[in-house]
Structure 1
Amino acid sequence: MTTTHPTDAGTTPVLEVRNPATQDVVGTYPIHGPDEVGAAVEQARIAAEWWQGIGYAERRKRLDAFRGVIARRINQLAGVIHEEMGKPHSDAALEVALVLDHIAWAGKNAGKVLGKRRSPVGMVNAHLGATVEYRPLGVIGVIGPWNYPVFTPMGSIVYALAAGNAVVFKPSEFTPGVGAWLVDSFKQVVPEHPVFQLVTGDGSTGAALCRSGVDKVAFTGSTATAKRVMATCAETLTPIVAECGGKDALLVDEDADLAAAAEAAAWGGIANAGQSCVGVERVYVHSKVYDEFTRLLSDQVSSVRAGGDAGAPVGPITMPSQVDIITRHVEEAVARGARVIAGGGPTEGQVVQPTLLVDVPEDASAVTEETFGPTLVLRKVADMDEALALTNASRYHLAASVFSKRRGREIADRIRSGMVAVNSVFTFAVVPSVPFGGVGDSGFGRIHGEDGLREFCTPHAVVRQKFAPPLKLMTLQRTKQAEERLNQIIGLLHGRK
């Protein structure tokens, strides 16, 4: 957790960052205001010109070197994540490892995706030549989350950098040390200019970044906070890409590999203490396999323990206020007839035990709202048509998972979401070439893949006249003969369709 400490007049207030398991202070960081944020953006503006000028090949070399630093010091960075947000060290190391492929892919493919290329002009415009390229916007402000403090913001940072932008990064107030580690490590491979900078603080710092004149804001967080970020960015017409919450469903068809589905559901819902925007929160299971699947999933959930000790496979809840939300969702569901059939147990401080619920009404908060904790809601359905109807009824449409041997792709194609994993969970996040993002209250815009590179660019089109046109149409001296000839050409090209 974080504690804000005001200081004497004229000095900068600070954040005190505490380990969520022990409450030990693990760091203090300044709360930067508009002046400090504005200065960082101005420095980034100058740095961006140099960074863009060194070209795709040199940027790739620098990003590869950055990747090497992270890979060699992976355990050190995992230790900072563990201390600040509480996840087990092994899970923190896995998070760091997963970002390395993204750095490699973005650096390797940026020139191919964004570089200048010819564009078709059509028969009527044969006298013209056209090119399109994607130019960096300039300075990108990234407001990162605490639940995956490396993997998630780096999905914006790395792709923005590969495209030629400078970045000013405001990490979550719960994990500023992670942000500082990343920025300091990048400076080792790009010492010439402040291409990647850090500002720390709370919501006021984020608001200052939105108002600072950056060319785009990349935000990850709750839907409610995204609306406030959008409103602030609207003051200066600053565009944003928003990756917000989810209430992701896992669908289990009658022919699914039940053991694999149960293992995936448990991991997808409980890993990182359930604090995953693409975490599994709802599970819809075909009636023909419901009983067997329920037994398998119950065994999985019952075997997992959350704790603050080194031996616990599941860590504490990072944000203290989230404990109340998780508790409310479970208690409300039980009060309305739901049953806890596996897991559960007392909450101790910020440690919440994994919980499997059944018989939860579809209008209960445990189904309609993002819980963001180690809680799974299990429901029997008559068939996949019912499962799809229930899945798509949510206002959140970030991601989903389907387990089926024969119909996985067919079912996936009918889900309204940004991403779907078939016979797996989370796999869409680890493939660098595919876009990541949501629909509806889960946000808009994309990170990762070609879309993620273009997200931080603006298209630049140039059309050049190579020789005089056979028909002079764009002139005040256009002749009747030219008009008649145009009509004949249009009839031949389009009239017979």
Structure 2
Amino acid sequence: MTQAPPSATTFESLNPANGDVVGTHPIHTEEEVRDAVARARVEAAWWAGLSFDERGKHLSTWKGVMVRRLAQLADLMHLEMGKPHGDAVMEAALAIDHLNWAAGHAEKVLKRRKVASGLLMMNQAATVEYRPLGVVGVIGPWNYPVFTPMGSIVYALAAGNAVVFKPSEYTPGIGEWLARTFQESVGRPVLQVVTGFGETGAALCRSGVDKVAFTGSTETGKRVMAACAETLTPVVIEAGGKDSVIVDQDADIEAAADAALWGACSNAGQTCTGVERIYVHERVYDEFVASITEKAKGLSAFEGDDSPIGPITMPKQLDVIRGHIQDALSRGGRALVGGADAVGERFVQPTILVDVPEDSTAVTEETFGPTVTIAKVRDMDEAVERTNATRYGLGNSVFSKANGMAIAERVRSGMSSINGVITFAAIPNLPFGGVGDSGFGRIHGADGLKEFCYAKAIARQRFKPMLNLTSFSRTDKADQQLAGMLTMLHGRGTTVGPELPDRD
């Protein structure tokens, strides 16, 4: 089976565009979650016993199934989460590319390798390798229900772990689809899914898994950490963001405006690394604002397969978006596009805000809607200072022809894109994660593979040492020889402090 036995209690997933029922799913209890983890423990032993090549072949088979059923997966994402079909296809394609990278690079990153022993321990051969933890629990979000959780799932699987996946209650069918196609490909439930609400996620945290990978809001991440702390279960947290775009005076303004608008409004703004703040050099501010405003006026969100912007998936987020817009306007901000009436019952229209105070919630808190604030800055020093004046630190973008790298290096964030938005997420070789209230730990890339492993160090004696230091038979002469070696190796060029008096 790909999931725990059906619970007596169920819930429905709904199409956020119209409220239609998409599917019915079990609410798995704590006992059922524990049973799933117990099964995963058995599967983990088998899966970890395979070679990297054998696991890679299984994952490649799964990749092939996903590619052949790409339209099916995109349709389900459109129904359950609401995003346009084209965006759903792009999201699934990126996840498949990461699956391919993880399967193909796990051995190179994790296999046993020799490391230098140093002169003092030259008689030892030293190696380090990265071994799977065992069973990894993944708690995924609804906004990118394939790409984001797969950033943990496929890297954990490629590293040799079994996975129990708890998808968002808004997108449970997608989680079940992933687990079902995996089992069809591999033949064993190395990947299982449990569905339900917060209680099911908390049960997974307390179930005895060896690590939990969570993606969601900062506040929920804190609750996940608290639950995991009860059993000293380590976590990797990918939480919220308030990402900025910095536009320097030498930027390609049309390209910057186009990218910033897409970063702010794609996926209805429901992107942890989406664009929520823009800081523009005063010399190009008017030009940039005119360009992005013109482009935004041509965008709208509506029910229908041809809408470029989908609905707001989580109904309670509508109040947050509305509140941030109202706070910005009440504090002296102006809406050049959209505004207070942009928030409907299911859809939010693109909203461009200017002259918003930096202490407005529209600037300080994660909005998670198709809105963005634009501020004029005198130079890039001010742009960086404002960008860094946040408790978040996930990603950011810089547009500059000459100074992009110099600016990006000064931004306090886990990731940056230069002359593009969110491009770092599409590169499997790059780690993905944040600092501050955006979380810690990394998925993707070599760091993502190692995140789901523990380092195993081995020192093996090659020949007997000239100085046997780990023995009670060690002589005064050996101590003197050790002191002499230390002086020879490390004594040159060191600063010697004042001599301390002898103690009685």
- Shorter-chain TM-score bucket reads over 0.9
CA distance in 1, matches of 2:198, 2:78: 23
Which residue pairs with 1:379 in the alignment? 375
Instruction: Using the TM superposition, give the Cα deviation of residue 318 of structure 1 relative to its aligned residue in structure 2, in angstroms.
Output: 0.1
CA distance in 1, matches of 2:249, 2:389: 22
Which residue pairs with 1:355 in the alignment? 351
2:151 to 129, 152, 155: 155
CA distance in 2, matches of 1:428, 1:238: 29
Q: Structure 2 counterpart of 1:283, which letter? A: I
1:250 aligns with 2:227: no
The Cα offsets for residues 401-422 of structure 1, whole Å up to 9 and x where unpaired, read as 0000000000000000000000
Q: Structure 1 counterpart of 2:470, which letter? A: M
The Cα offsets for residues 156-182 of structure 1, whole Å up to 9 and x where unpaired, read as 000000000000000000000000111
Q: Structure 2 counterpart of 1:218, which letter? A: A
RMSD, matched Cα = 1.0
- 3-state SS of 1:437 partner: coil
1:462 to 433, 458, 470: 458
1:312 aligns with 2:307: yes
2:123 to 106, 122, 127: 127
Which residue pairs with 2:43 in the alignment? 47
Amino-acid identity (%): 59
Runs of 4+ aligned structure 1 residues displaced above 4 Å come to none
- 3-state SS of 2:337 partner: strand
1:216 aligns with 2:211: yes
Instruction: Using the TM superposition, give the Cα deviation of residue 194 of structure 1 relative to its aligned residue in structure 2, in angstroms.
Output: 1.3
1:297 to 275, 292, 298: 292
Instruction: Using the TM superposition, give the Cα deviation of residue 346 of structure 1 relative to its aligned residue in structure 2, in angstroms.
Output: 4.0
1:102 to 98, 105, 110: 98
Contact (CA 8 Å) 1:80, 1:178: kept in 2 or not? yes
Q: Which moved more, 1:197-206 or 1:117-126?
A: 117-126
CA distance in 1, matches of 2:39, 2:428: 30
- 3-state SS of 2:430 partner: coil
Consecutive unaligned residues of structure 2, counting only runs of 5 or more, are 1-5, 494-504
CA distance in 1, matches of 2:303, 2:365: 27
Contact (CA 8 Å) 1:301, 1:343: kept in 2 or not? no
- 3-state SS of 2:268 partner: helix
1:199 to 194, 197, 208: 194
Which residue pairs with 2:471 in the alignment? 475
The Cα offsets for residues 98-117 of structure 1, whole Å up to 9 and x where unpaired, read as 11211111011101111111
Q: Structure 2 counterpart of 1:209, which letter? A: L
Instruction: Using the TM superposition, give the Cα deviation of residue 11 of structure 1 relative to its aligned residue in structure 2, in angstroms.
Output: 6.2
Q: Which moved more, 1:67-76 or 1:344-353?
A: 344-353
CA distance in 2, matches of 1:452, 1:249: 24
1:336 aligns with 2:331: yes
The Cα offsets for residues 300-326 of structure 1, whole Å up to 9 and x where unpaired, read as 111111112112100100000000000
Which residue pairs with 1:78 in the alignment? 74
Instruction: Using the TM superposition, give the Cα deviation of residue 343 of structure 1 relative to its aligned residue in structure 2, in angstroms.
Output: 3.3
CA distance in 2, matches of 1:166, 1:257: 46
1:321 to 316, 323, 334: 316
Instruction: Using the TM superposition, give the Cα deviation of residue 217 of structure 1 relative to its aligned residue in structure 2, in angstroms.
Output: 0.3
Which residue pairs with 1:5 in the alignment? none
1:66 aligns with 2:80: no
1:428 to 424, 435, 445: 424
CA distance in 1, matches of 2:173, 2:219: 25
CA distance in 1, matches of 2:203, 2:119: 51
Which residue pairs with 2:498 in the alignment? none
- 3-state SS of 2:416 partner: strand
- 3-state SS of 1:361 partner: coil
Contact (CA 8 Å) 2:61, 2:186: kept in 1 or not? no
State the number of aligned residues.
487
CA distance in 1, matches of 2:7, 2:399: 56
Q: Structure 2 counterpart of 1:306, which letter? A: A
Contact (CA 8 Å) 2:95, 2:150: kept in 1 or not? yes
1:493 aligns with 2:489: yes
1:173 aligns with 2:169: yes
Which residue pairs with 1:4 in the alignment? none
CA distance in 2, matches of 1:346, 1:340: 10
- 3-state SS of 2:316 partner: helix
The Cα offsets for residues 176-229 of structure 1, whole Å up to 9 and x where unpaired, read as 0000111111011110x3100010000000001001000000000000000001
- 3-state SS of 1:229 partner: helix
CA distance in 1, matches of 2:8, 2:383: 53
Consecutive unaligned residues of structure 1, counting only runs of 5 or more, are 1-9
Q: Which moved more, 1:318-327 or 1:466-475?
A: 466-475
Contact (CA 8 Å) 1:138, 1:165: kept in 2 or not? yes
Q: Structure 2 counterpart of 1:458, which letter? A: Y
Contact (CA 8 Å) 1:317, 1:350: kept in 2 or not? yes
